[in-house]
């Protein structure tokens, strides 16, 4: 679909009848059309106004079309330029293409053919704008501040990730942690935070492919009769050009593929199966595993040289049960996200539902939190979540997790959870626990929770 809104075309030609003919033609498409009779005027117009397309004659007074083309590309390389000439001169055409003209047409030309060419340019521009809009929307959704918010509790989690996520010089990231701990989630945050290589995000689950297929899926293949390769195939590194490749379950890659992966990291090139020529790659890289990288090296499942190449950017993700202070940050994010997805009113847990959610151990980690939030949003009609809206078994599982604890353990857990929920504010913590603030300070001292 062609959208004509804000499409501006500048036509530069020293022949008045050409200007009138083209203005009438493109005016019928509701494009905004300006006309000038020489290259100098055209340049002045480009400096004053943003044009989608410039159509310029090669031979014009004051400034020729090729010089105009060069200057336009210096001002804004995204402006499309069509060159027109009265004669078929290959050398002029080659020069125009060298300076990034979109196309080259000779007089006399077909108005229908030119209109089709211009419409194709506008379609390309619309597609680029749509892709940029989609990327900006995803980037906004995955921006750390939008996910984590701005209160003290949420800033603590942001501090762990921000040095890696917000450093644009970092083009590779290693993530390790138990299943469901948020590796894919963080990988997407990393991808949509990039200004360098902001293109497509592609995941490659190494454990999903048998060893013979892993190489071609990663690095591609080229037709080679001697090796009985009958078709070309792009690997994920080539498909993610100017984007991000996320290799999941890194430990499932055999030693010889890890060697090739190291080359991709260091030399930024890959060798497709059956080819003698390497392909340059331009992408961010994310590597993840359910096992901490050092342990993989110790167990001989990860090459030490590959470990050294990615270890500096490793982020270790711990189970949700060990970071309860971040629980409601994640619940709030997934609740908000799901409500927007299903176009329902915002929902939040009531006090009793909060108690159950806090007490539950979340063995499925972030993945389980996301699924539970989706189930709650679809099930609850009210804005305040009650225990009956929670998935069956969650409340009983939460109760079981506290049955084996002593009274002191239960009290310590309650204080820690209240502190986390109140973002460290002692007055709010005391109110949540239903005790006086002085009593809270005594308990903090008793249990060594003063830091």
Mean pLDDT rounded to a whole number for the chain? 81
Residue 403 pairs in a beta bridge with none
Residue 172 pairs in a beta bridge with 285
Q: Identify whether residues 303 and 422 lie together within a single domain.
A: no
Residue 245 covered by a domain:
yes
Q: In which band, very low, low, confident or very high, does the pLDDT at 2 lie, cut at 50, 70 and 90?
A: very low
Residue 87 covered by a domain:
yes
- What is the model's pLDDT at position 157? 47
What number is the average pLDDT over the span 9-34? Answer: 85
Q: Identify whether residues 77 and 190 lie together within a single domain.
A: no
Residue 142 covered by a domain:
no
Between 44 and 198, where is the model more confident?
A: 44
Residue 86 covered by a domain:
yes
Q: Which of 21-35, 123-137, 320-334 has the highest mean pLDDT?
A: 21-35
What number is the average pLDDT over the span 33-49? Answer: 90
Tell me, what CATH number does 205's domain have? 3.40.50.300
What number is the average pLDDT over the span 181-187? Answer: 84
Q: In which band, very low, low, confident or very high, does the pLDDT at 249 lie, cut at 50, 70 and 90?
A: very high
Q: Identify whether residues 328 and 314 lie together within a single domain.
A: no
Least confident of 41-45, 158-162, 277-281: 158-162
Containing domain of residue 50, as a range? 8-133
Q: Identify whether residues 207 and 347 lie together within a single domain.
A: no
Q: Structural domain tally of the chain?
A: 3
Q: Identify whether residues 28 and 44 lie together within a single domain.
A: yes
Q: Identify whether residues 182 and 276 lie together within a single domain.
A: yes
Task: Encode pLDDT of 52-70 as tens digits.
Answer: 899 998 888 898 888 999 8
Residue ending a domain, choose from 133, 167, 199:
133
- What is the model's pLDDT at position 236? 94
What percent of the chain shows pLDDT beyond 90?
Answer: 24
Q: Identify whether residues 27 and 97 lie together within a single domain.
A: yes
Q: In which band, very low, low, confident or very high, does the pLDDT at 303 lie, cut at 50, 70 and 90?
A: very high
Q: Identify whether residues 343 and 301 lie together within a single domain.
A: no
Q: Identify whether residues 203 and 338 lie together within a single domain.
A: no
What number is the average pLDDT over the span 72-85? Answer: 85
Tell me, what CATH number does 390's domain have? 1.10.8.60
Taking the model in full, what pTM does it have? 0.53
Task: Encode pLDDT of 208-227 as tens digits.
Answer: 998 889 999 999 999 887 88
Q: Identify whether residues 288 and 338 lie together within a single domain.
A: no
Residue ending a domain, choose from 318, 333, 351:
318
Residue 406 covered by a domain:
yes
Task: Encode pLDDT of 331-347 as tens digits.
Answer: 888 898 888 888 888 89
Residue ending a domain, choose from 289, 318, 347:
318
What number is the average pLDDT over the span 230-254? Answer: 92
Q: Identify whether residues 26 and 84 lie together within a single domain.
A: yes
Residue 444 in this model has a pLDDT that exceeds 80: yes
Between 92 and 36, where is the model more confident?
A: 36
What number is the average pLDDT over the span 143-148? Answer: 50
Residue 38 covered by a domain:
yes
Q: Identify whether residues 347 and 404 lie together within a single domain.
A: yes
Residue 275 covered by a domain:
yes
Residue 1 covered by a domain:
no
Task: Encode pLDDT of 392-407 as tens digits.
Answer: 777 666 555 544 445 5
Give the whole-angstrom CA distance, residue 160 versus residue 169: 17
């Amino acid at each position: 679909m062609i959208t004509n809104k804000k499409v501006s075309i500048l036509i530069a030609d020293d022949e008045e009848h050409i200007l009138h003919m083209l203005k009438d033609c493109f005016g019928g498409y509701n494009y905004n059309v300006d006309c000038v009779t020489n290259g100098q005027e055209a340049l002045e117009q480009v400096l004053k106004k943003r044009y989608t397309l410039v159509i310029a004659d090669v031979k014009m007074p004051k400034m020729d079309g090729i010089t105009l083309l060069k200057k336009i590309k210096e001002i804004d390389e995204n402006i499309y330029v069509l060159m027109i000439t009265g004669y078929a001169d290959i050398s002029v055409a080659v020069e125009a293409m060298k300076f990034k003209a979109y196309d080259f047409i000779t007089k006399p030309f077909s108005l229908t053919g030119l209109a089709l060419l211009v419409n194709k340019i506008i379609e390309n521009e619309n597609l680029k704008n749509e892709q940029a809009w989609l990327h900006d929307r995803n980037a906004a959704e995955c921006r750390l501040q939008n996910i984590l918010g701005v209160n003290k509790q949420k800033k603590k989690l942001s501090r762990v990730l921000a040095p890696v996520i917000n450093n644009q010089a970092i083009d590779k990231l290693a993530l390790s942690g138990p299943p469901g701990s948020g590796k894919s989630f963080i990988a997407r945050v990393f991808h949509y935070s990039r200004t360098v290589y902001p293109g497509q995000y592609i995941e490659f689950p190494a454990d999903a492919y048998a060893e013979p297929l892993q190489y071609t899926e990663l690095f591609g293949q080229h037709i080679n009769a001697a090796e009985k390769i009958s078709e070309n195939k792009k690997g994920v590194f080539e498909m993610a050009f100017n984007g991000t490749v996320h290799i999941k379950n890194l430990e499932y890659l055999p030693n010889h593929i890890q060697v090739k992966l190291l080359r991709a990291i260091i030399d930024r090139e890959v060798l497709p199966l059956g080819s003698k020529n390497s392909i340059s790659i331009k992408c961010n890289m994310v590597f993840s595993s359910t096992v901490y990288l050092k342990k993989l090296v110790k167990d001989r499942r990860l090459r030490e040289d590959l470990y050294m190449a990615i270890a500096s950017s490793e982020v270790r993700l711990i189970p949700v049960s060990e970071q309860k202070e971040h629980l409601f940050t994640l619940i709030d994010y997934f609740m908000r996200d799901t409500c927007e997805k299903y176009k329902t009113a915002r929902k939040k847990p009531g006090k009793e539902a909060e108690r159950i959610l806090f007490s539950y151990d979340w063995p499925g980690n972030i993945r389980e939190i996301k699924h539970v939030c989706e189930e709650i949003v679809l099930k609850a009609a009210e804005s305040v979540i009650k225990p009956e809206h929670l998935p069956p078994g969650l409340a009983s599982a939460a109760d079981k997790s506290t049955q084996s604890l002593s009274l002191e353990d239960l009290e310590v857990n309650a204080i820690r959870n209240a502190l986390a929920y109140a973002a460290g504010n002692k007055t709010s913590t005391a109110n949540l626990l239903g005790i006086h603030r002085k009593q809270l300070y005594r308990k903090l001292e008793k249990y060594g929770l003063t830091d």
